[in-house]
Structures are given as structure tokens and as C-alpha cells.
A and B are shown apart, each in its own frame.
Chain A
Amino acid sequence: MVSYLATILIIMVIYILLAFSLDLQYGFTGLINFGLVGFFGVGAYTSALVTMNLGLPAWLSFPAAMLVAGLLSWPLGRIALRLRDDYLAIVTLGFSEIIRLVIVKEDWLTHGVQGISGIPRLWPNWSSSASELFLLCALITAAALTTLVMRRITQSPYGRTIQAIRDDEVAVIALGKDPSIFKTQVLVIGGAIAGLAGAFYAHYITYIVPDQFVPITTFYIWMAIIMGGVARLLGSISGAVLLVFLLEGTRFLRGYIPGVTDAGMASFQLGVIGVLLILFMRWRPQGLFGKRSAT
């Protein structure tokens, strides 16, 4: 039971980190990123490979994961910043698929579709449950620090500028600021946060394959920030918590309905997410705690 709770909490906090990343990009800056999972995956793979191939202690691989995922956001920014919303969505989605296909193909480094197994836990000498709890504590600390950083970013003059870019880009240009610099920075910071989440995920799950990094995860995170409310840190947190309850709840439901297969339940879960997404966008686009007026 403790182990189950720890698992739920770890997944929840990883989702919170991912929701922060997306909220900084979409909620605060208005950048539509449909490729979030790509940076999550790059973080996971970087951290796993740095730990296993270079033999560095696990905790040293976290900054590496943030760095690589952040740097990879930069070329995306160069291409994407000239595009309208609809193009941006398609380009970022394609970008995350390119990342996944590179991971599949470059098997000399990533072991391709077989994935990487036996990624060391954060504290390999401890028993697995103690190590799990340690990882949870580290994860919560990281999330708390990220929350502070996010608060600093969004409540500073910098944060007002990126929100101004979201609301009226032309006005920001008229004030003599260059939105493309801010947008690129936001993409890089968001990418780094997603990379951090990926590093925790890799060291928790200890086994990663490319199939864990398919676009559905991106849309789960979109679902989370839409439910919780965009452009509010509380919204990201509550949205991620709700998302985990939703995903776990439908899994629990399975115990009460006889004769349902795993695949059938996964389909049902997908349908629930789909209908909720439609209903939220129609009736409450600002989410449960959002303050931004419906657009």
C-alpha cells in the first residue's frame, strides 16, 4: 500500500513538473507546444545514458538532462517563432515524433525499440522501497524549487512581458521589445523543466522504451492544465492531481466491471479524457481555477 501510494505520488509530481513546463509555454506565453513529450523523453534518455555510459552518480545526470532538453528546444524555437498558432501545433507535434524516431533508429546509443533497462535508482545501495521514498522526497524538493522559480519568473517584469506577448504581441513590439527572444527563452526553460521530469521518470521506472514517449502523454498534460486552469501555478498543480485521479480512477473501476480487458479499459479511459476535453473547452475553457477570460 505504501509502495502504491509512493508510485501515485511520484507520477503525480512528475505530471506537475510537466504541467509547469507547458503552462509556462502556453499559459503564460501563449506558445502552443504539442511536442512536450519529446523533451520529456530526451530528459529521460539523457539521464539514463549519462548514468550508465559515463558511470556518473545518478544525481549528476539531472542537470545534464535539463541541459540537453533545454538546448534541443532552441532549434524548435528558431523554426516555430515565425509561424501562426495552427502551424506551430503541427510543427511541434512533428518535432516530438522526429525525436522519438531518432531514439528508435540510433540503437547503438539508445538500444532502439528494446529500450534501456536496469537504470540505477537514485541510491542504488538502499532497498528498492527506501530508494523509492528517497526519490519521492528529492522529486518533491525539485518540484518545490521549480514552483519558486516559476513564481519568480511569472511575477517579475520578465513574467509580465511574456504575458503581454501572449495577450498582444504587436503592442510588445511597439514597446521596443523583441518577442522572439522571450519566446525562445521560454521554450528553453520549459524544455529544461520537462527534461528534469524525464530524468526523475527514468530513475524511478528504471526501464525506458521509445513507446513510453508517444504524443498521448503530451495531450494528458494539456488536459491537466486545461482542467486546472492556465496561467496559474495552482491550476497546473491541481490539474495534474486531477489527471492522476482520473487515470487511476478508471483503472480502479475495472475491478468492479467483470470481463473487461486491459485494452478495453484503455479505450474507455481515452474516451473519458476525450469527452472531458470537449466539455472543458466548451463550457469552462479557463479551467477550474483559471482567471484568464475565455478566448
Chain B
Amino acid sequence: MTFADFLNLALNGLVEGLLIALPALAVTLVHGLARFPNAATGDVVAAGGFGGYFTFNVTGSLLLAGLGGALVGALVSLAAYYLAFKAIMRRSVITLLLTSIGVGFFIRSVLGMSFGHELKMFSLPLTRAINFHGVLINPTDVQLAGVIVAVLAAVFVMLYVAPVGRMMRALADDPDLGRVSGIRKERVMVVMWSVTGAVCGIAGTVLGMRTTLAPEMGWTMLLPAFAAAVIGGLGNPVGAVAGAILLGVVQELSTPYVGFVYKIALGYVVMLLVLLVRPQGLFNRPQGVR
């Protein structure tokens, strides 16, 4: 393997990692506030992808497609919160987790019945990769990666600069202390579910532009997102993004050695190894069991 091949794989891994970073961030934000791994995350991604696809076909604008995907994702996510999760918020993890699986099944079912199971593609013009001494860079990938980085930046600005982000982090840190300090948990929850939904919706649209759309795409996206969030430490936003990029790069770089099938398995193996060594994830401090 030449150095150029190595760079090509690493760059491709970076883009793949960024694609996983958005749902992984959503998983970790939901876990921080609602304290369960949301198994419907992937299906919100799929719903957003179809929303973006629909908007694109109507308007022909990629920008509007992204906004449409974000809107659909946010609406689906909010609907799931109000109709399914809100009433059982104080119950056990497994109750919420199984409910989220039910929500995911339902979303996938609606997508399957409304759009059918054929793969859908955005009809985008084909672009030729630019060749820098053997390092291939696809302009579409650069643009999509730029969109993802912008979205990530916006979420982190919200989390670490805006007041609502401070409230979110306070509630994630200590819900009781947050409430006695006068934070309205309900409002923060609504913001959190809309933001994570929008993030997933954009992820779905971007994923659809890069590959194809299918109602089942959410499920294939869910486990890598879970793995990335676990590697970074559930509830830790920086960890989720770093975990996703780490996974993407490691998986791509390993492909020449282990092949395409074990590349996927490697993601879960890395997750198991991280949990063996640091059960709290790479970026979380050790904590007692809540």
C-alpha cells in the first residue's frame, strides 16, 4: 500500500466517520437528558432522508433539501417524544429502550408503506474526483463533509455558548440540581428532541446524496452510531463525534487487511475492547452507577 492509498483510505474514513458522527451525537444528546439509548435514532435519519429527497424533487434545490430533511427529522422526533416517550420518561431504561424500538419499527413501517422498498437516489450530476498525485478527492464528498462540519459546529455552539445549551448540560449533569436551579426541564427537552431530530434529518439527507435511500437504511446506521457513542462515552457530545471519526478511519484503514465484512465487525470489536479497558468510554470520567 502506497502512501497515497493510505491517504485515500484515511480521507474516505474521515467522511464515513463524519456521516456517523451526526446520529452518534443525537444518540448521546438524548442519552444525556432522557437517559436511554434511543433505538429509533436511525429511523429518524431515514425519515429525514426521505423528507430531503421529497423536498429536492419538488424544489430542485440542495439547500432546501437539507432544510426539508432537518424539518421532517425534527417533526418526527418531536412526535415520538410527545406520543411515546413523554409519558414513560420516569420509568426504567429497558421500558424506554423497548419503546424506542417500537417507535423505530413504526417509522420504518410507515416509510416502507409510503415509499416502497426500491432504492432511491438523488439525481445529482456525477462529479469527477480531483487527482493530487494519486490522492483522489471527490468534490461532492468535500461539500457534504463541509455541511456536516457546519452542522456539528452549530450544535456545539448551541451546547457551549447558548443559554439553552448550558441548561441542557446542567440537566444532563444533575437533573435534580438543574430543576431546583429553576431550569424548565420540559422546554429544554423540547429543544433537545427538535435539535437531535433535525441533526438526524440532515444526516439522512446527506447520506442519501452520497449513497442511496431505503426505509431500512436507518437500522444499518444505528449500530455504528451506538458504537461510536459508546466508544466516546454515552452522554459526552465531543466523545461521540471523536468516536465516530475514529471508527470511520480505523474501519477504512483496516479494509485492505480484513475485507469488507470484517470491517463492519471491527467497529463492534473496537467498542468491546474500549468497554473492557474503560467501561465509561474514552472521553468520560469514571462515575458511580446512577
List chain A positions with a Cβ less than 8 A from chain B.
26, 32, 79, 82-87, 89-91, 93-95, 97-98, 101-102, 104-105, 219, 222, 226, 263-264, 266-278, 281-282, 285, 294-295
Contact = CB atoms under 8 A, between A and B. Distances in A.
A85 B289 CA distance: 10
A267 B234 CA distance: 31
A85 B37 CA distance: 10
Nearest to A80: B275
Nearest to B279: A82
B92 A295 contact: yes
Contacts of B262: 101, 105
A222 B105 CA distance: 14
A148 B10 CA distance: 56
A94 B261 contact: no
Interface string B207-240: 0000000010000000100110010001000000
Contacts of A98: 265, 268-269
Contact of A86 (B84, B93, B268): B93
Given A87-B234, A101-B264, A276-B102, A94 B87 contact: no
Contacts of B271: 90-91, 94
A86 B234 contact: yes
B8 interface: no
A277 B101 contact: yes
B105 A89 contact: no
Contacts of A277: 98-99, 101-102, 105
B185 interface: no
B276 interface: yes
Which residue, of B94, B215, B227, B272, has the highest number of chain A Cβ atoms within 10 A? B94
Nearest to B234: A86
A268 B42 CA distance: 19
A104 B234 CA distance: 30
Interface residues of B, number: 50
Contacts of B35: 86
Contact of B108 (A93, A270, A282): A270
Nearest to A101: B265
Contacts of A32: 94, 97
For B35, B91, B99, B105, the residue with the greatest tally of chain A CB atoms inside 10 Å of its CB is: B105
A281 B99 contact: yes
Given A83-B279, A94-B272, 7 more contacts: A32-B97, A89-B37, A94-B271, A97-B265, A267-B117, A274-B103, A282-B88
B259 interface: yes
Contacts of A278: 84, 99, 102-103, 106
Contact of A263 (B87, B97, B105, B116): B116
B193 interface: no
Candidate in A101, A264, A266, A281 with the most chain B CB atoms within 10 angstroms: A281
Interface string B251-269: 0000000010110110011
B279 A87 contact: yes
Contacts of A263: 112, 116-117
18 contacts: A82-B279, A89-B93, A91-B230, A97-B265, A101-B265, A104-B261, A219-B101, A263-B116, A267-B108, A268-B109, A271-B106, A271-B113, A273-B105, A274-B106, A277-B99, A281-B102, A282-B87, A282-B99
Contacts of A86: 31, 35-37, 93, 97, 234
A98 B111 CA distance: 28
Nearest to A90: B226
A270 B268 contact: no
Contacts of A95: 268, 272
A101 B261 CA distance: 6
A74 to B, nearest CB: 14
Contacts of A264: 112-113, 116
Given A87-B275, A101-B265, A104-B261, A267 B95 contact: no
A249 to B, nearest CB: 16
B13 interface: no
Query: What are the 4 tightest A-B residue pairs by CB atom distance, in nearest-first order?
Result: A274-B105, A271-B109, A267-B112, A277-B102
Contacts of A281: 88, 95, 98-99, 102
B104 interface: yes
B110 interface: yes
Contacts of A26: 94
A104 B258 CA distance: 13
Contact of A91 (B97, B98, B106, B275): B275
A14 B153 CA distance: 50
A79 B110 CA distance: 37
Nearest to B258: A105
A143 to B, nearest CB: 25
A94 B99 CA distance: 19
A164 to B, nearest CB: 17
Most buried by A among B102, B108, B112: B102
B98 A84 contact: no
A185 B106 CA distance: 36
A281 B275 CA distance: 29
A8 to B, nearest CB: 23
A224 B144 CA distance: 42
Interface string B76-99: 000000001001100111110111
B116 A285 contact: no
